[in-house]
Amino acid sequence: MGAQLNLVEQNLHLVEVSSRRMLFHIPSSSLFELDGLTAQLIELLRSRPQQTAEQLIVELQEQFPVEQISDSLREMVALELVTDGSPLTPEIALKKVTEFPLNTLVLNVNTGCNLSCSYCYKEDLDKPSEGKKMVFDTARQSIEMLIKESPNEARYNIVFFGGEPLSNFGLIEQVVEYSEQRFAELNKPVDFTMTTNATLLTEEKIDWLNQHRFGISISMDGPKAIHDKNRITVGGQGTYDVVSSKAKMLLSRYNSRPVGARVTLTKGITDIRGIWDHLFNELGFAEVGFAPVTSGDISYYNLSDEEVAEVFSNMKLLGEEYLQAALEHRNIGFSNMHQLITDLHEGNKKALPCGAGVAMLAVDHEGGLNLCHRFTGSDLNTFGDVQTGMDKERLGAFLDQRLDRTNTGCDSCRIRNLCSGGCYHESYARYEDPTQPTYHYCDLLRDWVDFGIEVYSRIMAENPAFIDSYISPRRAH
């Protein structure tokens, strides 16, 4: 008598797409079209656990050749969709993180911002006159620390953040000049990225940024009525007029890389399609990404539970448009959907929610090392500084806590390798503990991923060339 077989429910998820059934293999984030035999094996084992291969063969041998049934079962055991009782491979190596493939440094070049957006989350945000600027020596030490701590990366990325980074433009120029020379000596490429409120852009600055191929995102919340609700000057005036005119100026002369808009969704703002339409069709941004705020420091601005549900439902409506356009071989620049499709296509499997603390660190104006840009100035202890280097011991211990999903809700969650417990800062803002997963909209997230599976499967079936044209080339960067 052979071993008793059981389904490993936590590793499989079935999704209906049109008339097809797709199997999402959770450990590898891969998608397979379910063939009739595998579907029946799953059904049989689901309705009656603990069956042997022989029993299953007896049930199905009138419909399928015996060899085919055995092969399918072997494959399912290899994929750990079915277990014969042998221990499953641990999904995530629970060993201490000691290697940090650091390739991205976020420099907080000025804690000051020339605007005063009502919802702003920044822990260390100051009024323009009180902004603490990073000095060049700290920035130079940051670059040297990056090279010393992590000399073997294929490419490096320096991100300029604030406050408003353009309010310390002189430093940015110095850092770019220094980095270009330093990384050229090492024969390594270096990229520059910046998120800006756009208000301080001039034609000269734009041309300089273009020359250095900056990846630029503009923080803009949508049409005037929406944008001016929160994105205001220190004096309380809306900034739509200046931001939209600067954005148009940028978009008309910037050609080195696509320019994206980053939209912050707060209390009362859920009109995803209207915002996308304005930013993509009317202003001409290449990409529009939405960041729903549910755990901001100023709880008044958080989206309510109903509003978060509305945001996801509106994201799906725009996702339908993304799909229709993709079938016509057009990309409508809906970043959230595009990223999900990319993750599914590449089979991205994340042990941790993001690169913070592993591939990326943020340097505050004094040179302290933080998990990411959202932690600079927070009460969470820093993880070393640019003068003395990374505190790998503490960083490793922090990451270990998040890697270990035992006894968390994430342990058997079907999107555990795409979500990985969510943003550390969201956890920190909610529970003052960045290691605790945030469970407040898991159902909506799972539904969003199911929707992504549906969209991805339809694109693959009906216009796979879209993936070749718009998804695969991104890997080159």
**Which of 162, 374, 385, 451 is the binder for ligand SF4 (CB under 6 A)?**
374
Q: Decide if residue 353 touches ligand SF4 (CB under 6 A).
A: yes
Task: Name the phi and psi angles at 16, rounded to 5.
Answer: -85, 130
Burial per residue of 79-93, b for 16 or more beta-carbon CB atoms within 10 angstroms, e otherwise: bbbbbeeeeeeebbe
410 belongs to the binding site for ligand SF4 (CB under 6 A): yes
The residue (of 56 and 364) whose beta carbon lies closer to ligand SF4 is 364
Taking the complex as a whole, the smallest distance from the CB of residue 428 to ligand SF4 amounts, in Å, to 8
CB 422, min distance to ligand SF4, A = 5
Distance in Å, CB of 393 to ligand SF4, minimum: 20
The helix-helix angle for 305-327 and 442-462 (nearest 10°) equals 10
Q: Where are the alpha helices (DSSP H) in 328-423?
A: 335-346, 392-403, 416-419
Rounded to 5 degrees, φ, ψ at 13 are -145, 125
* Piece of the chain touching ligand SF4 by CB under 6 A; list 113-121, 163-171, 209-217, 406-414: 406-414
Burial of residue 104, with CB atoms counted within 10 A of its CB: 0-12 exposed, 13-18 middle, 19 or more buried: buried
CB of 106 to ligand SF4, least distance (A): 9
Among 92, 232, 325, 442, binds ligand SF4 (CB under 6 A): 442
Q: Are 102 and 363 in contact (CB under 8 A)?
A: no
Q: Is residue 413 a contact residue for ligand SF4 (CB under 6 A)? A: yes
The verdict on 369 binding ligand SF4 (CB under 6 A) reads: no
Nearer to ligand SF4, 206 or 423 (CB): 423
Is the Cβ of residue 275 or residue 361 nearer to ligand SF4 in the bound state?
361
Check residue 338 for interaction with ligand SF4 (CB under 6 A).
no
- Give the one residue of 44, 77, 291, 354 binding ligand SF4; rule: CB under 6 A: 354
Minimum separation from the CB atom of position 329 to ligand SF4 (A): 32
367 lies in the site for ligand SF4, by CB under 6 A: no
Interatomic CA distance for residues 167 and 173, integer angstroms: 12
Burial 275-313 (b: 16+ CB within 10 A, else e): bbbbbbeebebebbbbebbbbbbeeebbbeeebbbbbbe
Q: In one letter, which amino acid is 272?
A: I
Q: Is 352 in the site for ligand SF4 (CB under 6 A)?
A: no
Chain mean position to CA 127: 29
423 binds ligand SF4 (CB under 6 A): yes
Q: What distance in Å separates the CA atoms of residue 308 and residue 444, rounded to the nearest whole number?
A: 8
b/e sequence 319-332, b meaning 16+ C-beta within 10 Å: beebbeebeeeebb
Q: According to the binding rule CB under 6 A, does residue 113 interact with ligand SF4?
A: no
- Out of 292, 396, 422, 452, which residue is the one contacting ligand SF4 (CB under 6 A)? 422
Query: How many residues interact with ligand SF4 (rule CB under 6 A)?
Result: 23
Would the CA dihedral through 386, 389, 394, 400 be positive or negative?
A: positive
- Least distance CB 135 / ligand SF4 (angstroms): 25
Euclidean distance between the first and final Cα of the chain, in Å? 54
- Angstrom CA distances, 361 to 3, 92, 120, 154, stand at 49, 22, 21, 17
CB of 445 to ligand SF4, least distance (A): 5
CB of 419 to ligand SF4, least distance (A): 3
439 touches ligand SF4 by CB under 6 A: yes
Nearer to ligand SF4, 273 or 440 (CB): 440
Stretch that binds ligand SF4, among 203-211, 213-221, 234-242, 369-377 (CB under 6 A): 369-377
Measured from the CB of residue 358, what is the shortest distance to ligand SF4 in angstroms? Answer: 10
In the complex, least distance from residue 271 CB atom to ligand SF4, rounded to whole angstroms: 24
| Closest-CA residue to 135 (of 388, 391, 390, 386) | 386
Q: Cβ(218)–Cβ(243) under 8 Å?
A: yes
In the complex, least distance from residue 153 CB atom to ligand SF4, rounded to whole angstroms: 18
Amino acid 278 reads: H
Residues 6+ apart with CB under 8 A from 382: 364, 368, 369, 370, 391
Write the CB contacts of 14 (distance below 8 Å, at least 6 apart in sequence).
Answer: 21, 22, 23, 24, 34, 42
Q: Outline where DSSP puts E strands in 295-381.
A: 360-363, 369-370
- Pick from 421, 459, 460, 470 the residue near ligand SF4 by CB under 6 A: 421
CA dist 199 and 222 (Å) reads: 15
Least CB distance to ligand SF4 at residue 430 (A): 12
453 is a contact residue toward ligand SF4 (CB under 6 A): no
Residues that bind ligand SF4 (CB under 6 A): 353-354, 356, 371-372, 374, 409-410, 413, 415-416, 419-425, 437, 439, 442, 445-446
